Structure 1
Amino acid sequence: MLAWVDREDRALAAEYETFVEGRGSFFQSLAWGEVKENWRAQALLSRGEDGGVRAAALVLSCPLPLVGGSLLYCPRGPVGDWSDRSALGDLTEGFARLAERERACLLKLDPLVAPGGPEAALLQSAGFRHRPGEGDYRTLQPRFGYLLPLADRGEEELLAGFSQKCRYNLRRAIKKGVECWTGGAEELDAFYPLLEETGRRDGFVIRPRAYLERLLRVFGPARCRLFLCRWQGRPVSGALALRYGQTATYLYGASSGWGREAMPNYLMQWEMIRWALAGGCTVYDFGAVPHFLEPGHPAYGIYRFKKGFGGRVAEWAGEFDWVYRPVSAALMWGGQRGLQLAQAALRAGRERRGRE
């Protein structure tokens, strides 16, 4: 049975949140819908004959003025029992109703399922088109991440799993007197300039400060914290991390070009891992590892750094689309392709200048 989640119905909203937090990502949380204020967020769920929740989905709607209608996006969802075809049928019916209401041309899903597995096969058999993100097609969320298992492991065991160089750099940061502080929005005055510097140096667009303030406020201090490392009285690195369910996620990081010899990023990551342990998390998510199979790529260093802490690469299946308005969807894909080509040219230029 299909049901829509009314945020004003506190009991229903709490039931939805409990179900998602026990099985899925913070991207499917009702709180995430509040963070994405430029999107319209709606949640739906499927109930079994016993009245219990079988599956759930948070869907974001974004208007597409140039092509007409809107885009529907279910980030890292849906969530539920992937062996239950009728539950997926309920959600698919809900997606269709939502698409009609929002005049959507396309729905995108990118659930946390493995490529080639039964979950991906079920989505395809239900009518979704698989778009794994190969070649020129880029997915909205990274297809490769780096995960550190924490279950039944203490600090000593985790440290023993770090590479020798990682442990050395962590000890160096402590010996040099780097201190890591944790706080909330009050630390943004120190963190945001680091983020701006990192964006300029590495050539990526950063989130507005108001977005980070909203993220910290909506999830609250028990779930979302800002970590800031200082050395010789100056901020040298910082990160924003989020605990949801049994996973702690490293969301945004920044560092100064000054003070790198003190290795502050190693202490910062260690303190976030310890925070994850203290919160009862079983997984620490380091985030994306782009180009981890290309040692010669400028971004390979991201993977090399994260690999030092132990863990493993996780691969996700990519996106699954349902087209409701083919013409509008084609126009959207055409615009997306042009944007990707422009971004690729900019990246190539930055990499070329970096080698000169």
Structure 2
Amino acid sequence: MSFRLKAITREEHLAFVGTRPSVSHMQVPAWGDVKPDWRAESLGWFDEEGRLVGAGLVLLRPLPKVKLKRYLAYLPEGPVIDWTAPDVERWLQPMLAYLKERGAFSVKMGPPVVTRRWSADAVKAAIADPQARKLRDVEATAHEPQAFDLADRLRRMGWQQTEPDGEDGFAAGQPRYVFQVPFAGRTLDEVQRSLNQQWRRNIKKAEKAGVTVVRGGYDDLPAFHEIYVETAQRDRFIPRPLAYFQRMWKTLRAEDDDRMRLYLAHHEGEVLAAATMLTVGEHAWYSYGASTSRRREVQPNNAIQWRMMSDAYELGAGTYDFRGITDTLEEDNHLLGLLRFKVGTGGQAVEYIGEWDYPLNKVLHKALDLYMSRR
């Protein structure tokens, strides 16, 4: 028998999130306010006794250039259900039926399920191996068999896995490959000792040079954004406008004071680096980062990251998440330096099961794919 699914209030949704050790920051009610171009709705799964046993934030966006009120339904890094259940159909079929009634022509979701992990040593060896071109082709340190069983069940249900686009290994939605530093069961000193020699040396160098890392507020967002735009030009990505970060700050912190933090690395009166950190339960994410090309020798990036990791540890985080990494290991890849930087923390590369699509209307789903391919 399937679970009963219906819309729930923000309060019910947030209360459910509070019962879980970790939920993606994209699956809290306030995230819907960060995305005004989408219509957000909180969904709840109820068992036979009427207990709320699952929740999800779904974002609905109308099909572009079509008068019909038909929507793409997107659950980024969600929903929050029992993904280990042998009968996952009981959870997903009611969701598909509900969203179809709401006018969805396609559903996209990102199950928060890990498939493989690579230790820092394994990633370093892969980078050094001229024969290794993709992380996905390198033998993993750990496998999660249940994730592969889940993927098979999803395919049998008609879900289609979204493959990473282009050379960088990033999907069109959320990253499939991330880098994480586990904190659980370790002291902060043990975490610091797991940093490689270069990281520890750079932290000391920043301290000796007089770099100070401070927590910022709403009024510091323009300073962050100025060097964020510089970073975007240097690293070849399209920057988000200042208004996006101001909206993030107001909406996320209205839900929880520690949901979003801003850090700035100062040196001789100038901001050299800045970054945002998001926290939900026992999981902290390095969300957006920025650094200027000036005075890089004083190592502000290592200083700001170590301060954020230390603060995340003090908040009770069991994982510090550096978010997306490239899947490509070739030397000419412009993101390889960022991967090396993250590997220096001694953490682990993590592969998630990825994002999956379910076409409720195959014609409109194909039309959206065509539209996105031409953008």
TM-score by length of 2: 0.83
Say which structure, 1 or 2, has more relative contact order (CA 8 Å, 6+ apart).
Answer: 2
Q: Which residue of 1 aligns with 2:65?
A: 66
Q: 1:237 to 1:178 in 2, by over 3 A?
A: same
Q: Which residue of 1 aligns with 2:120?
A: none
Q: Which residue of 2 aligns with 1:337?
A: 373
Q: Which residue of 2 aligns with 1:301?
A: 337
Counterpart residue type for residue 56 of structure 1? A
**Counterpart check, 1:94 vs 2:95:** yes
Q: Which residue of 2 aligns with 1:185?
A: 218
Find the aligned partners of 2:231 and 2:14 in 1 and give their Cα distance.
38
Find the aligned partners of 1:295 and 1:60 in 2 and give their Cα distance.
38
SS at 1:125 equivalent: helix
Find the aligned partners of 2:95 and 2:319 in 1 and give their Cα distance.
32
Find the aligned partners of 2:88 and 2:51 in 1 and give their Cα distance.
11
TM-score by length of 1: 0.88
**Counterpart check, 1:142 vs 2:144:** no
The alignment of Structure 1 onto Structure 2 pairs a total of residues equal to 335
**Counterpart check, 1:218 vs 2:251:** yes
SS at 1:117 equivalent: helix
Q: Which residue of 2 aligns with 1:16?
A: 16
**Counterpart check, 1:290 vs 2:326:** yes
**Counterpart check, 1:125 vs 2:156:** yes
What do residues 66-94 of structure 1 show as CA deviations (whole Å, max 9, x unaligned)? 25522111100121212335664344323
SS at 2:78 equivalent: coil
Q: 1:53 to 1:118 in 2, by over 3 A?
A: farther
Q: Which runs of 5+ in 2 are unaligned?
A: 116-146
Find the aligned partners of 1:173 and 1:183 in 2 and give their Cα distance.
19
In percent, how many aligned pairs have the same letter?
Answer: 33
What do residues 113-133 of structure 1 show as CA deviations (whole Å, max 9, x unaligned)? 234523323323333222333
Find the aligned partners of 1:147 and 1:7 in 2 and give their Cα distance.
32
**Contact 2:222/2:242 (8 A) holds in 1:** no
Q: 1:23 to 1:272 in 2, by over 3 A?
A: closer
Find the aligned partners of 2:152 and 2:54 in 1 and give their Cα distance.
17
**Contact 2:81/2:91 (8 A) holds in 1:** no
Counterpart residue type for residue 275 of structure 2? A
Structure 1 stretch 164-173 or stretch 195-204: which is displaced more?
A: 195-204
Structure 1 stretch 329-338 or stretch 289-298: which is displaced more?
A: 289-298
Counterpart residue type for residue 75 of structure 1? P
Q: Which residue of 1 aligns with 2:106?
A: 106
Find the aligned partners of 2:344 and 2:39 in 1 and give their Cα distance.
40
Q: Which residue of 1 aligns with 2:82?
A: 81
**Contact 1:56/1:91 (8 A) holds in 2:** no
What do residues 179-202 of structure 1 show as CA deviations (whole Å, max 9, x unaligned)? 001122121132111111111222
Q: Which residue of 2 aligns with 1:29?
A: 28
Q: 1:76 to 1:123 in 2, by over 3 A?
A: same
Q: Which runs of 5+ in 1 are unaligned?
A: 340-356
Q: Which residue of 2 aligns with 1:152?
A: 185
Shift of the alpha carbon at 1:257?
A: 1.1
Find the aligned partners of 2:229 and 2:354 in 1 and give their Cα distance.
30
Find the aligned partners of 2:242 and 2:38 in 1 and give their Cα distance.
18
